[in-house]
Amino acid sequence: MTDASTTSSGRVPRLDEEPEKVKFVRTDGVQYEADWDPDAYDPDAARAVMESHIDDAVEAERLGLDGVLLTEHHFDGWTLAPSPNLFLMALAMRTTRLRLGQAVHVLPIHSPWRLAEETGMLDVMSNGRAEIGVGKGNFSVERMRYNPPGDEFDERFVEGLDLLTRAMRETNVTFDGQYTQMPIPATVYPRPYEPENLRVWCAGLRPESIAHIGRTGNNLYGFLTPDAPDNFKIYQDAAGEAGHDRTGANFMVIVSLIIAPTDAEAQRYQQQALEVAWDTMTARNFPQEEKEFYHPVFGGAIVGSPQTVLDQLAPAFEFTRSRRLNLVWRLRSMPFDVARQTQHLFCTEIMPELQRLPVAG
């Protein structure tokens, strides 16, 4: 007998399958929670953080979440998982139903072929549960350190996405790009399950980037913000013009939550999280514009009791026309038990209500 959440073959449906359902994933940065001074680094503290995130994922599966995504960052304690697929492989060994992916790989700094190979490995080792997410990276303080430099990112992203999708779906691939040349036919091994159906999740903020993602037929990552419906229309229209039929199941929006038994308790945690988030971004030399944009994401965008959060989240989510909700609740400075409480309250008291939202086109 198979679990109700799997197909008859035992494979867990992809996040962009089953458009009639609302699906929920959590995204983790796996931030180092001790002193970021390199001279104070403690590998035991780092290991404890990693193990606690693995425990979070196991609990997320037990509570019915559909997936776990990992961010990719570099150069300091903002993350302990600069290679998301290594961490996701550990999650694959501890879970059986969660979809496992990235939000996102910084595609322009990677070999697209190598990412396709890693996706194949993760997919096979997890029994077909791999998702793949890519973007251009969201922090200028990181882009300025990368090689290649950030001013080439747009062109590298477009070319890299083309090669990545071909590498996953086709065999005997050759490629003649500006940044990558493969004149001798090559095939990715191990091949993922159902490679022809494995669509990439792509982060997009600018209209031209969103339209390009739509034309490729891939899925769209966005934010739960007032412009989300407009972005979805740009995406859906561009996809339709290119012959792709895309729905809210192909559009995932991200939001951070802090949930507690009372509004007052949640607001106290939010105040601390906002202060720490601002101080952390300042210490990383974020430009003022970036600090203001990301402050709610890293400090708790919607907070309160389960009912308060539901009253705000349900109409905002339905307004986006998305059917895939990406949740952040393991915030820097947030005590482990508080983040775990948010996950539990969301899954037991809010998620069942959101699952009843009507299907969006």
pLDDT at 3: 46
How many C-beta neighbours within 10 Å does residue 184 have?
A: 8
Q: Is residue 25 part of a domain?
A: yes
Quickly state the pLDDT bin for 360 (edges 50, 70, 90).
Answer: low
Return the structure tokens found at 79.
């993350």
Whether 49 has a pLDDT exceeding 50, the answer reads yes
Confidence (pLDDT) at 151: 79
Answer yes or no: is 152 within a domain. yes
Tell me the DSSP string of 113-144: HHHHHHHHHHHHHTTS-B--EEES-S-HHHHT
At residue 332, the pLDDT reads: 87
Q: Which residues are CB-contacts of 200 (< 8 A; sequence separation ≥ 6)? A: 132, 133, 134, 161, 164, 165, 216, 218, 219
Domain membership of residue 357 (yes or no) is no
- 220's tokens: 């769209």
CATH code for the domain in which residue 162 is found: 3.20.20.30
Q: Helices in the chain by DSSP H: which ranges?
A: 43-63, 84-94, 112-125, 140-143, 153-169, 207-216, 228-241, 263-283, 288-299, 306-320, 336-345, 351-354
Which band of pLDDT confidence, cut at 50, 70 and 90, is reported for residue 8? Answer: very low
What's the total number of domains in the chain? 1
Domain of residue 28: give its range: 20-53+68-203
- Model-level pTM greater than 0.85? yes
Determine which of 2-11, 97-106, 199-208, 217-226 has the lowest per-residue pLDDT on average: 2-11
Q: Is residue 146 part of a domain?
A: yes
CB 162 within 8 A of CB 156: no
DSSP 200-213: PEEE--SHHHHHHH
Using one digit for the tens of pLDDT, what is the confidence trace for 254-297?
A: 999 999 999 999 999 999 999 999 999 999 999 999 999 999 88
